[in-house]
Structure 1
Amino acid sequence: MRVGAVISFALSVASIAATAPYEHHAIHEKRSGSSPRWIKRDRVPSNKRLPVRIGLTQSNLDNAAEYLLDLWTSDQVIEAFCPSETAVQAVRDWLADHGIENVTHSDNKGWLAFNARVSKVEALLRTEYFEHEDAVTGGIIPACDKYHVPITIQEHIDYITPGTRLMAPVEGDTDLKLKKRVDRQVNRQKPQWMAEQVYKQLSKNASDLSHCDQAITPACVKALYKIPPGHLADPTNSLGIFEAELQFWHQVDLDLFYANFTPSIPQRTHPINYEIDGAPPVTTRYYPYPDMLDLMLAYPIVYPQTITVWNVDDLHYQTWENDTYTWGFNGLLDAIDGSYCTYSAYGETGDAPGIDPTYPDPSPGGYNGTLQCGIYKPPNVFSFSYGGQEADVPIAYQKRQCHEFLKLGLQGVSFLFASGDLGVSNYPAPYGFDGPTGCLGPDLNIYNPTWPNGCPWVTNVGATKVYPGYTVFDPESAAYDPAVTPRSVNYSSGGGFSNVYGVPHYQKKAADTFLKDHNPPYPYYRGLSQNALNPTLPNVTALAGDTGRIYNRDGRGIPDVAANGDDIAVYIGGKFGLAGGTSASTPIFSAIVNRINEERIAVGKGPVGFINPVLYDNPGVLNDITNGNNPGCGTIGFEAVKGWDPVTGLGTPNYPKMLDLFMSLP
């Protein structure tokens, strides 16, 4: 009783002290609901201390696009986007007026941190903290339902933690999760009998271009895009390829591939391996297909340049339901930019427990070291054959990562992402995470754009195909491959319009032309899921309304470019096979960009960095694709047409034209 009276008196005094000069407050964050796994318990004891972080609003984000033609250092990036001194001082003054001292300003200038008693933090934020128990793990964290900040400084504050967010690690049996992930593997390879028929033709002469409508060999790729033999100017210009989900490369298969298709590449040639945060060694055999596909497409283009495989996260997390395929690339971004480990933006700071892996990992076989931050220098070009759907990723989380791609793009790094293999939808059940059709909305027919492809600061790569009866000297078409086995699905080039990001300036003219001259015959909606502080999913249904509208007319268009992605000749497990997907298109285009960097380095120039603005201003350096579509959600999707389209983007590479263009730039 006496303790309660003392606490009440202390809170009253604190409230009086807070009335001037900060009289008018506004709710800054409010939880819109919580998962049933969280049980709200008692108030957090007032004498306990909370580690408080205040994420500060960044500067100059609206000017980011115009910066991308220059190359910056990491210090220059921090300086460009750091909060203004006025903002920092205003928040510091607010804290000082409430008796909060010993405030730390982070090295990346993105947040202020301090420790304070619960009673003082509650008075500061005009809130109450309760303990919340996680029914799954038993863990308890402090959180509030809402909190307030003064209106006069609200514009300077991104978010505050502990706050409204409720997150906890996902626990579970690794073997069971491994089995689930095996069950979700969708066979993108053609039946073996088809591959054997093609192999009989190719075994006579692998450089013969007359069979490229049946199997895409290195000779076919080089002929399609007019790629000459490579050379080595800078041994450090290694093409980066991201891998996760228990991928590995197999030397025997690589050597078979070299012997049959690229004898100029010596036997035993293999990538450099970076195993980040305890990633399983490449000799661990799980799922070789995507990793081998990347290497067998990229090596014939870049050799004698090298390839570096960036393998991320330990065995426990690579079999985790919330692994990188579903969520993000924070582990990689931490490893190549140390500031990202503590970087604050859009209500997110560092890695998120329950979404991202956390280290040390006490799980059996887990990585016992600390999170690797800034250990590696990023390559000039990064190829990603991974991604997910916007609807499955919290908006704040994906926006924070998108801004990191911008920061690294300013430093000369090119990020290329596969646009997806399901046209305008996601994998249907049981393979996907978005219900029976892989589409959104109450009628399961709203288009489901991919992620992180909506981010304006990455280059998205769609897929094309040499159709039967055509040659590498004919125009390609958008990739389409109907399901051929019970365990496969229809495959088409991923594309569409983002629900989170608006049309970037460099794409606006191209997107407007497509919508005006080739108006898709579907009802559409307008608007973006703008609330970056809301950890819930984008409310696509609200955007679409109840009138059957199925795509967003205001969104950033996907993809930007394309390359061949079907009937790719590979060796897996010692056998010849045919594979495909935008996972094939992306390493092809990435390897070409890396080759262009090699030529620029040879004459004393820097890497090309973020390539989208240059390509949209000069679409003539690409081969326009005008045939095909990308079906999904009960429609034929979008059409490949003259100019940019949300199926194949601006088109496929013409290496000589691209080289001439980029060599002409500073």
Structure 2
Amino acid sequence: MKASLVWSLAIALGSVQLCAASAKLFSRRWEDVAEKHSWVDVPRGWEYVSPAPADYEFDMRVGLKQDKVDDLTATLMETSDPTHAKYGKHLTVVEAEALAAPHPDSVEAVDAWLEDHGVPPANVVRSTGGGGWVVVRVSVAQAERLLGTKYNVYHHTASSERVVRALSYSLPRELHPHVDVVTPTTYFGTPHSMRRTSFLQPDRVLQPTTKDGGARADCASVITPACLRELYNTASYVPRATNVNKLGVAGFLGEWANRNDLQKFFAQFRPDAVNSSFSTVLVNGGLDNQNVPGVEANLDIQYTTAMSFPTPNIYYSTGGSPPFIPDSQTPKNTNEPYLEWLSFVLSRNKSEIPQTITISYGDDEQTVPKEYAVKVCNLFAQLGAVGTTVFVASGDSGVGGGDCLTNDGTKKKLFQPAFPASCPFVTVVGGTHKIPETAVDFSGGGFSRYFGTPAYQNVTVAKYVKGLGTTYAKLYNPAGRAYPDLAAQAYAYQVIVGGALQYVAGTSASSPTVAGVFALLNDFRLASGKPSLGFINPLIYSTASKGFNAVVSGSNPGCGTAGFPAKAGWNPVTGLGTPDFEKLQKLI
């Protein structure tokens, strides 16, 4: 054999061996795995049912790390700071999405990992609007191999909902710097299992009200749009920017706002709004069943429209996949409420995104995996960066509902902050009642264990914490994001549900009310040729802090304690206080 031929064969053989070695090395690249998140026990309220069928299919979302998220939040703070040169210079949707996008290396790493596991490119979709998500159609068996976990069916006793979830999951160590979170895995929240922030008051005897609902004094015993409009000084303002200004209500509880009930509500409490309505946008399989009016949905939309009329209102009906059915092989989503709605809104044109949005639900922060909470909170920052003010109800459990025990295996009694109220990029609304206003005892409030105290709160929160001294020192995190930021009436709201007048209470009444006030402030700015307010927290804690009525009495008991006391200045029951529209007009 000629030497050249021998040499050629040697090269060819070496190349084959090298390729085989490379392939083996490439495969081993993903074998070094580490746990991403796990629960010690099945989350409270859920119970194990059975192993999930191996061939059950669902959409798995891989949340890639956002390469410039620090730049996004820094920009948000600059454009939200009334003393900064960039104040009010909100980003376009495209600009915000660029800052929320993942690094190309992260995209490449996740693609290689999926390819190594035999996931065909046709099963991979890249979502828009929500800061870098890869959506992968997989079976339970495939997901278990990808994530080194075991999926089971779990039952939520309160809502009777069944979901497919895992108690832990892992990723190759190489992917940890590239991936924030994978869902559905260890986050058990669903549109039907989240805690409502409103409740009926069937024991109250309905008080007679005048045709227009009475005046400010009525707020001492019964809440109507007229008393709120007078109490918060919006009654004389006539909106002028209704061609561009919008107010949004995020609905997640399997409820629908009823148009007939709204007309009856207007006829009794806001006659000049009769025949006006709201639009409904369906998100992620959401429905609009006008035969089944929802208390929460009706409360939200009746008071946002009544407070902001004639500003256009949008009700977002966000669905989730139906409860797990053993023989169902075709669910298209994963039951998780935050991600679908935020991704949807952030993928819209800027002209379609409301300048003001209110959200009336939440859950204990400790039930949400931290990585998931951070990812969702960053999406709220992205929404604020494009000029939207997001209000969130603070919750109806004071400093914590139930036994307040931690779910980390230690079962330690601690105050339980709520999420998304604990996110520093939303504006949280607590509750008051009576005249003069005092803190209502169920008003949610406290300090996050996931998020640190944001700069805009440093001075006011430090002052309150110093005043507490050693009180509750071991029950809360004094270095955490503190909430609520503001407050409004939360008791004895008159709402039409199924054609009948009912009393409803909760901070999910307070949040739509404050959202209505700020929707009018946005109208005032837009009509004056100025940009929308956007993320308002840096503003309200500084140059606009005098635009609120301080609430100095009451507390929010819970966890076997009297809770935090309301005091002058900021407090973790009613925040900075309740809004005064006319004062705020002059300050913004």
| TM bucket, shorter chain | 0.7 to 0.9
CA distance in 1, matches of 2:425, 2:146: 39
CA distance in 1, matches of 2:282, 2:374: 26
SS of match in other structure, 2:248: strand
Of the three residues 298, 302, 306, the one matched with 1:300 is 306
- List aligned pairs for 1:623-638, cutoff 5 A: 623-638=549-564
CA distance in 1, matches of 2:136, 2:285: 32
SS of match in other structure, 2:398: coil
Of the three residues 272, 276, 298, the one matched with 1:269 is 276
Contact 1:245-1:318 within 8 A present in 2 as well = no
Give the counterpart letter for 1:640 in structure 2: A
- List aligned pairs for 1:506-655, cutoff 5 A: 506-519=456-469, 521-524=471-474, 550-618=475-543, 619-655=545-581
Judged with a 3 Å threshold, the aligned counterparts in structure 2 of structure 1 residues 13 and 292 are, in CA distance, closer, same or farther, namely same
Are 2:235 and 1:260 equivalent residues in the alignment? Answer: no
The aligned counterpart of 1:188 is: 200
Contact 1:29-1:159 within 8 A present in 2 as well = no
Of the three residues 153, 158, 163, the one matched with 2:179 is 158
The aligned counterpart of 1:291 is: 297
Are 2:338 and 1:332 equivalent residues in the alignment? Answer: no
| TM-fit CA distance, 1:258 | 2.5
Q: Percent identity?
A: 26
The aligned counterpart of 1:234 is: 242
Of the three residues 211, 226, 232, the one matched with 1:225 is 232
| TM-fit CA distance, 1:58 | 2.8
After the TM superposition, which of the residue ranges 402-411 and 550-559 deviates more from structure 2? 550-559
The aligned counterpart of 2:222 is: 215
Q: Deviations over 1:602-631 (max 9, x none)?
A: 122221111111111131111111111000
CA distance in 2, matches of 1:141, 1:650: 40
The aligned counterpart of 1:479 is: 440
Give the counterpart letter for 1:294 in structure 2: D
TM-score (structure 1 length as normaliser):
0.66
- List aligned pairs for 1:445-460, cutoff 5 A: 445-460=413-428
The aligned counterpart of 2:9 is: none
Give the counterpart letter for 2:422 in structure 1: G
Contact 1:383-1:415 within 8 A present in 2 as well = yes
Are 2:399 and 1:391 equivalent residues in the alignment? Answer: no
Unpaired runs of 5+ residues, structure 1, are: 1-8, 43-50, 116-126, 172-176, 339-372, 429-436, 481-491, 525-549
| Number of equivalent positions | 523
The aligned counterpart of 1:432 is: none
CA distance in 2, matches of 1:112, 1:657: 46
Judged with a 3 Å threshold, the aligned counterparts in structure 2 of structure 1 residues 218 and 29 are, in CA distance, closer, same or farther, namely same
CA distance in 1, matches of 2:422, 2:323: 25
Are 2:473 and 1:465 equivalent residues in the alignment? Answer: no
Q: Deviations over 1:183-208 (max 9, x none)?
A: x998432425x22xx21xx2487334
| TM-fit CA distance, 1:571 | 3.1
| TM-fit CA distance, 1:573 | 3.8
Judged with a 3 Å threshold, the aligned counterparts in structure 2 of structure 1 residues 63 and 505 are, in CA distance, closer, same or farther, namely farther
Unpaired runs of 5+ residues, structure 2, are: 1-16, 43-47, 80-88, 138-144, 156-162, 326-332
Give the counterpart letter for 1:222 in structure 2: R
| TM-fit CA distance, 1:635 | 0.5
SS of match in other structure, 1:614: helix
| TM-fit CA distance, 1:88 | 5.9
SS of match in other structure, 2:515: helix
Judged with a 3 Å threshold, the aligned counterparts in structure 2 of structure 1 residues 246 and 584 are, in CA distance, closer, same or farther, namely same
Judged with a 3 Å threshold, the aligned counterparts in structure 2 of structure 1 residues 599 and 626 are, in CA distance, closer, same or farther, namely same
Give the counterpart letter for 1:330 in structure 2: L
CA distance in 1, matches of 2:134, 2:495: 52
Contact 2:439-2:556 within 8 A present in 1 as well = yes
| TM-fit CA distance, 1:460 | 0.4
Give the counterpart letter for 1:76 in structure 2: E
CA distance in 1, matches of 2:282, 2:107: 42
Contact 1:389-1:450 within 8 A present in 2 as well = yes
The aligned counterpart of 2:5 is: none
CA distance in 1, matches of 2:462, 2:187: 43
Contact 2:247-2:355 within 8 A present in 1 as well = yes
| TM-fit CA distance, 1:418 | 0.4
The aligned counterpart of 2:286 is: 279
Give the counterpart letter for 2:361 in structure 1: Y
Judged with a 3 Å threshold, the aligned counterparts in structure 2 of structure 1 residues 631 and 146 are, in CA distance, closer, same or farther, namely closer
Contact 2:197-2:393 within 8 A present in 1 as well = no
| TM-fit CA distance, 1:390 | 0.9
| TM-fit CA distance, 1:26 | 7.6
Give the counterpart letter for 2:503 in structure 1: L
SS of match in other structure, 1:300: helix
CA distance in 1, matches of 2:168, 2:558: 42
SS of match in other structure, 1:589: helix
Contact 1:134-1:168 within 8 A present in 2 as well = no
After the TM superposition, which of the residue ranges 449-458 and 299-308 deviates more from structure 2? 299-308
| TM-fit CA distance, 1:132 | 5.0
Contact 1:422-1:494 within 8 A present in 2 as well = yes
Q: Deviations over 1:149-175 (max 9, x none)?
A: 46xxx785236979xx8579999xxxx
What RMSD over aligned residues (CA atoms) do the two structures have, in Å? 4.9
SS of match in other structure, 1:284: coil
| TM-fit CA distance, 1:221 | 1.0
SS of match in other structure, 1:462: strand
SS of match in other structure, 2:541: helix
- List aligned pairs for 1:428-447, cutoff 5 A: 428=402, 437=403, 439-440=405-406, 445-447=413-415
Judged with a 3 Å threshold, the aligned counterparts in structure 2 of structure 1 residues 58 and 567 are, in CA distance, closer, same or farther, namely same
Contact 1:40-1:130 within 8 A present in 2 as well = no
| TM-fit CA distance, 1:454 | 0.8
Contact 1:561-1:650 within 8 A present in 2 as well = yes
Are 2:356 and 1:316 equivalent residues in the alignment? Answer: no
Judged with a 3 Å threshold, the aligned counterparts in structure 2 of structure 1 residues 110 and 307 are, in CA distance, closer, same or farther, namely closer
After the TM superposition, which of the residue ranges 604-613 and 249-258 deviates more from structure 2? 249-258
Judged with a 3 Å threshold, the aligned counterparts in structure 2 of structure 1 residues 282 and 271 are, in CA distance, closer, same or farther, namely farther
SS of match in other structure, 1:264: helix
Contact 1:280-1:315 within 8 A present in 2 as well = no
SS of match in other structure, 1:514: helix
| TM-fit CA distance, 1:449 | 1.1
CA distance in 1, matches of 2:215, 2:107: 69
Contact 1:335-1:374 within 8 A present in 2 as well = no
SS of match in other structure, 2:263: helix
The aligned counterpart of 2:140 is: none
Q: Deviations over 1:85-126 (max 9, x none)?
A: 7x569969999xx9x9x99996868479999xxxxxxxxxxx
Give the counterpart letter for 2:395 in structure 1: G
The aligned counterpart of 1:121 is: none
Give the counterpart letter for 1:498 in structure 2: S
CA distance in 2, matches of 1:601, 1:41: 54
Contact 2:320-2:336 within 8 A present in 1 as well = no
Are 2:30 and 1:62 equivalent residues in the alignment? Answer: no
Q: Relative contact order (alpha carbons < 8 A, sep ≥ 6): 1 or 2 greater? A: 2
